[in-house]
Amino acid sequence: MKNWHHTDRILAPSLLAADWGRVSEEVSRAVESGADWLHLDVMDGHFVDNVSFGPQMIQSINENNDVFLDVHLMISRPDHYLPRFIAAGSDMITVHVEAEHDVTNTLAEIRKAGVLAGLALNPATPFEKVVPYLDQIDLLLPMTVVPGFGGQSFMEDMMTKVEAAVAYREQHGLNFHIEVDGGITPLTAKIAAKAGANVLVAGSSAFGASDMKAAIAAMREA
């Protein structure tokens, strides 16, 4: 697996926006179009008001493709379901600071399994809530929409969290990635990258584009 650094611009199309009737073709299309990672949103209908897919989907993608699987658990009990997502072949697992679990223990379990550990926070959650864990993570994900559904517009005021994370990372000599998810287009990719985010999750702007390769290139160069 490539050794990703937080200075790399990483494009992670979100499977949520793909045509689920043709998942394997859609994953191949993303990879061939220049995707670095595949972002997989797991929703339990409880932590967020929507249900998506579980470990079987991730396992199937893992068995049929060679792409870095960036798994985002929008679920209430990430600690309970963790072993299943590790076994499915996730390369990175991001859990929410707001979920019902011991965050330090969950992050430690992910890393113990040799998987990268991410921590996400919702728009309503202040940056201070993640500060105690920033030395335990490989990626921080400040959500740029309220999670649960695709197609929402980008919340530019969340860039203050991205900037705060960049400053904290510098001050403490850390090297975690900063990912943004929600409403990412070539225009908002530019705003997010300027604030210091290096991992861009794109849903409809990637899978919904008539030319996905051009759309990914535009976000990479924004």
- Could you give the residue numbers annotated as active site? 41, 181
Amino acid at 198: N
> Under a CB-based contact definition with an 8 Å cutoff, are residues 187 and 221 in contact?
no
> Under a CB-based contact definition with an 8 Å cutoff, are residues 184 and 153 in contact?
no
How far is 38 from 204, CA to CA, in rounded Å? 14
Q: Which of 9, 35, 23, 24 is nearest to 213 (CA)?
A: 35
How far is 63 from 217, CA to CA, in rounded Å? 27
Residues 6+ apart with CB under 8 A from 52: 16, 41, 42, 43
Q: Which helix (H) or strand (E) holds 219?
A: helix 212-221
Task: Tell me how long the chain is.
Answer: 222
